[in-house]
Every structure is written in structure tokens, then in C-alpha cells.
Amino acid sequence: MLLKDPLFLLAAAASFVVLIVLMIGISGFAKGGDFNRKHANRLMRYRIIAQAIAVLLIVLFAWLHKRGGM
């Protein structure tokens, strides 16, 4: 049932994007060097934005399902 809900799939995809950006940031931090100096802050900003979107989608999904709207 949840796998047919487009809002659930969107929230899951947004969470996956957060995971990908986080893993890229962690691997860049672990390696250090030029890549980390150039892109660490940008990746952190992207992660925070993606995480905020994911949280909003999850809260919206939970709120709509609590109300019986979906």
C-alpha cells in the first residue's frame, strides 16, 4: 500500500538523495586534499537543503495519513 503512494515514494527518494550527498561528503572528508577544500562547504549546504526537503515531505506524509487524507 505504501509503495503505491506517490508522496511516500517522493519522501523515500529525497531521503536517498540525502544519503548520497552525505556519503560523497564523508568520502571527500576522509580523503582530504583538494576535493575536500573545494567542495566540503557546498556539499554540506546541499545536504542540509536536501535534508530539510526530506523532513518536510515525511512530516506532510505523516500528517496527511493521520487525517485520513490518502
Give per-residue pLDDT as tens, 28-64.
999 888 988 999 999 999 999 999 999 999 999 999 9
Q: Count of CB atoms within 10 A of residue 23's CB?
A: 10
- State the pLDDT at residue 53: 98
Between CA 36 and CA 27 the distance in angstroms is: 9
Q: Count of CB atoms within 10 A of residue 54's CB?
A: 20
- State the pLDDT at residue 70: 56
Residue 32, Ramachandran bin (φ over 0: left; ψ between -120 and 50: alpha; else beta)? left
pLDDT band at 10 (very low <50, low <70, confident <90, very high): very high
- State the pLDDT at residue 9: 95
Amino acid at 55: V
